[in-house]
């Protein structure tokens, strides 16, 4: 499969912070990718580097095979919906929509109009006076209607209520189904976006923790719960990602796949086995990375 984005040993360091650190990662064409990480993990910085808004400290970036920096050919095929995008004073949603429409060759005005209606976005109100959710709606409308070959959504649904979020997912899936393209969605609300994603990339502290197809993740982690003594006996034979103890009860998240022996042992020890949700796995992976960092 063609790689739309490739980075190698990419770093963006500020005085005290390594926002992105030695990151080598790639993203396939025409899939919906999830970029997951805690707040401050480096998701936004990575997206800003990929869209040429920031200059890398070191390392290499290829987008559509070229450097995105000052590259019109690449940028014309890209649409970046930023979290907390600022707009000039006095701007109204219709101004933003009109500018975006002029910038994207594949812009679909009819889709844009539908979405404006769907989100009930007031087109002639000052952007400063809009709610957080309406601000997010502007980004979502531009991101979907632009129909760019590569679209970044950075935490796209902040401030949206449950109905508006469902509207977003419906609109995104419908448009993606009709016009497949590469989409990167960053999020820290994981389980809700998980079904939309085809791949999951977790970064933490500016570094890559894991990258998987969602289907592979089905067997990536399991949770076992039972009495503390039983869990103690069980954990000798498996790789534990995270453990929580409450009184005499314990839960462990374990890296999959689970061997038949381990499964039988768990059943003999009367442990409850369940597939870990993406959120559980994410917490477990980032927590164990944090602990490893603290030890080092």
Positions touching other proteins (CB under 8 A) are 31-32, 48, 51-55, 70-72, 75-76, 78-80, 82, 85-92, 95, 98-100, 102-103, 166, 169-170, 173-174, 176-178, 195-198, 214-215, 218-219, 274-275, 277
Which residue, 170 or 245, has its beta carbon nearer to other proteins? 170
Minimum CB distance to other proteins, residue 234 (Å): 19
Q: In whole angstroms, how close is the CB of 279 to other proteins at the nearest point?
A: 10
Complex with other proteins: residue 196 or 263, whichever CB lies closer = 196
Closer residue to other proteins in complex, CB, 79/208: 79
How far apart CA 121 and CA 115 sit, in angstroms, is: 9
Which two tokens mark 100? 């975006």
Please tell me the distance from the alpha carbon of residue 241 to that of residue 286, in angstroms, as a whole number.
9
Closest to other proteins by CB, 9 vs 173, is 173
Nearer to other proteins, 267 or 291 (CB): 267
Nearer to other proteins, 31 or 255 (CB): 31
Nearest distance, CB of residue 238 and other proteins, angstroms: 19
Least separation in angstroms between residue 218's CB and other proteins is 3
CB 56 to other proteins: min, Å:
11
Chain position carrying tokens 């030890």: 295
The DSSP code for 208 is E
**Between the CA of residue 249 and those of 235, 240, 283, what are the distances in Å?**
14, 16, 20
Taking the CA of residue 51 as centre, how many other CA atoms within 13 Å lie in the half-sphere pointing to its CB? Answer: 21
Q: How far is the CB of 152 from other proteins (least distance, A)?
A: 10
Q: With b meaning 16 or more CB within 10 Å and e meaning fewer, what string describes 33-47? A: bbbbbbeebbbbbbb
CB nearer to other proteins: pick between 178 and 229: 178
Where are the extended beta strands (E) located within 78-180?
78-81, 150-154
> Between residues 41 and 276, which has the closer beta carbon with respect to other proteins?
276
Read off φ and ψ for residue 60, nearest 5 degrees.
Answer: -130, 145
Q: Return d(Cα 253, Cα 228) in angstroms, integer.
A: 14
What phi and psi values does residue 210 have, to the nearest 5 degrees? -165, 155
Shortest Cβ 293–other proteins spacing (Å): 27
Q: How far is the CB of 277 from other proteins (least distance, A)?
A: 5
**Encoded tokens for 209:** 């923790």
φ/ψ of 120, rounded to 5, equals 50, 50
Query: CA 79 to CA 257: how far, in whole Å?
Result: 38
Q: Which residue matches tokens 């990929």?
A: 50
């Amino acid at each position: 499969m063609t790689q739309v984005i490739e980075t190698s040993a990419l770093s963006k360091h500020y005085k005290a912070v390594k926002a992105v650190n030695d990151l080598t990662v790639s993203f396939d064409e025409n899939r919906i990718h999830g970029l997951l990480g805690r707040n401050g993990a480096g998701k936004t910085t990575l997206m800003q580097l990929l869209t040429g808004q920031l200059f890398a400290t070191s390392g290499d970036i290829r987008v559509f095979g070229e450097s995105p920096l000052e590259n019109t050919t690449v940028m014309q095929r890209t649409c970046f919906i930023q979290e907390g995008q600022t707009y000039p004073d006095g701007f109204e949603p219709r101004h933003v929509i009109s500018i975006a429409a002029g910038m994207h060759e594949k812009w679909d005005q009819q889709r844009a109009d539908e979405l404006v209606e769907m989100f009930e976005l007031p087109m002639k109100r000052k952007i400063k006076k809009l709610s957080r959710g309406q601000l997010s709606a502007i980004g979502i409308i531009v991101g979907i209607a632009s129909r760019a070959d590569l679209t970044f959504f950075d935490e796209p649904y902040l401030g949206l209520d449950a109905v508006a979020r469902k509207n977003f997912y419906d609109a995104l899936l419908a448009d993606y189904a009709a016009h497949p393209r590469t989409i990167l969605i960053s999020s820290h609300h994981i389980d809700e976006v998980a079904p939309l994603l085809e791949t999951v990339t977790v970064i933490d502290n500016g570094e890559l923790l894991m990258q998987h197809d969602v289907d592979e993740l089905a067997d990536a982690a399991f949770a076992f719960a039972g009495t503390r003594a039983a869990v103690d006996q069980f954990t000798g034979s498996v790789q534990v990602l995270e453990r929580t103890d409450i009184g005499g009860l314990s839960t462990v998240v374990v890296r999959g796949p689970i061997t038949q022996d381990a499964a039988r042992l768990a059943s003999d020890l009367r442990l409850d086995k369940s597939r870990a949700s993406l959120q559980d796995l994410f917490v477990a992976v980032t927590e164990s990375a944090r602990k490893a960092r603290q030890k080092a």
